[in-house]
Amino acid sequence: MPRFEQNLRIPGPTALPPTVMAAGGRQMINHRGPEFAALMERIVRRMRPFFGTRADIVLLTAAGTGALEAAVVNVLSPGDRVLAVTVGAFGDRFAKVAEVYGADVRRLEVEWGRAASAAGVRAALRQEPNARAVLLTHNETSTGVTNPIPELAAAIREVAADALILVDAISALGAVPFSMDDWGLDLVVTGSQKAWMSAPGMAFAAVGERAWAAMETARMPRFYFDLRRARESALTGQTPWTPAVAVLYQVDEGLRLMEEETPAGVFLRHAACAAATRAGLQALGFSLLADPAHASQTVTAAWVPEDLDWNPFNGEVKRRGLVLAGGQGKLKGRIFRVGHLGSVEIEEILGAIAVMEEASLRLGRVVEPGAAVAAAQRAAIAVLAAPGADVTGAIGAVAAGTPT
């Protein structure tokens, strides 16, 4: 891959476009001064359309998991009944956070690789009519599945109108269409190192009116992640604690690039890269984990086939500059994952497929040379040529910023 030393195909941290990378190398400023206030204002303003919300967006200096904790501890009290809809390792994590802080968590566990269904959520919630909150994962990074959030949210509102809907949108928000307000979500979190094309270290929480209201009575302890302190500091263009300033420089630049590309362009590029990844992997003989109806646009998980050992395969691809992610939780060693979010472009996916083909051949697997990249490219073109898609915009170095 000419753009980068490595073809970093993990589902975050994602590779930084050149101008985003450069932004990380800027000098510090006073985080209590006017330059910082302007930076924060720009970030929130440009992030808003991707959340699809007019709600407050709060900055948190933390990994995404910190934002999950913030979502839980600000709106809930110990003993509150919570329905955790979990379709993988990150759904389990969200549930665990609520349990650790004393919530009475009931799990709706969906088979890994499948999405939650409105019918399933409706049935589970009928058993828990007093649920104070429902925890949803937008995009399950461990399995490469995207839940149908609008359908799930509608089902929740139907059965338990007052339940708060808290959404882990860390690993796909910004890469796919999202409408927090239209879908009636109460609290949605994301992280800088995913679709935002920046280094890790900052998380963002969009907080709706019902969530703010819930904080008035919520009794779980919170200090560092206290969202009301963050809202109060935001009134003067600050964060309550010293923020990861350099990461925010990058998010600011990443959002500038995303605005330039337009949200529709960003979404189309992700759809094309995802289609190419799935087609390429299948042409290489890998079975995909995710239900095709809910396959993620940002990460694809494939089964390690019986005729292949993961470690030597991973060693071969690494030597060729391709960095893949292994399986998590109960799928460790049984699947591998390919990230295609953030600054990803078609040529990087083609490169990844080509490397996996070489590695497969080297390890004695039978694959037809060239077939996989051809299949990947065809799949990408099919997405880009669909009615309404702008082919010109989505191929090329759009996300990498103006070439120097």
Residues that bind its own copies (CB under 8 A): 4-6, 8, 10, 12-16, 21-33, 61-66, 68-69, 96-97, 100-102, 191, 193, 199-202, 220-225, 240-247, 250, 323, 325-326
Which of 58, 372 has the CB closer to its own copies? 58
Instruction: Compute the C-alpha angle 209/205/131, nearest 5°.
Output: 60
Find where tokens 């400023």 sit: 29
Least gap, CB of 55 to its own copies (angstroms)? 23
**Residue 233 structure tokens:** 């500091």
Least gap, CB of 243 to its own copies (angstroms)? 6
Which H/E stretch holds residue 139? strand 139-140
CA dihedral 133, 134, 140, 145 (to 10 degrees): -160
Which of 22, 381 has the CB closer to its own copies? 22
Tell me the H-state helices in 160-200. 180-183
CA dihedral 240, 245, 250, 255 (to 10 degrees): 30
CA dihedral 51, 54, 56, 62 (to 10 degrees): 10
Which of 95, 155 has the CB closer to its own copies? 95
Least gap, CB of 181 to its own copies (angstroms)? 28
Least gap, CB of 138 to its own copies (angstroms)? 17
Q: Answer whether 227's CB lies under 8 Å from 70's CB.
A: yes
Which of 159, 257 has the CB closer to its own copies? 257
Which of 13, 91 has the CB closer to its own copies? 13
Least gap, CB of 244 to its own copies (angstroms)? 3
Least gap, CB of 201 to its own copies (angstroms)? 3
Residue (of 328, 276, 280, 284) closest to 305 by Cα position: 284
- The residues, ordered by sequence, that sit 6+ positions from 222 with a Cβ below 8 Å of its Cβ are 70, 73, 74
Q: How far apart are CA 178 and CA 119, in angstroms?
A: 21
Tell me the H-state helices in 195-244. 209-215, 227-234
Which of 118, 323 has the CB closer to its own copies? 323
Which of 234, 268 has the CB closer to its own copies? 234
* CA R_g for the chain: 21
Least gap, CB of 366 to its own copies (angstroms)? 29
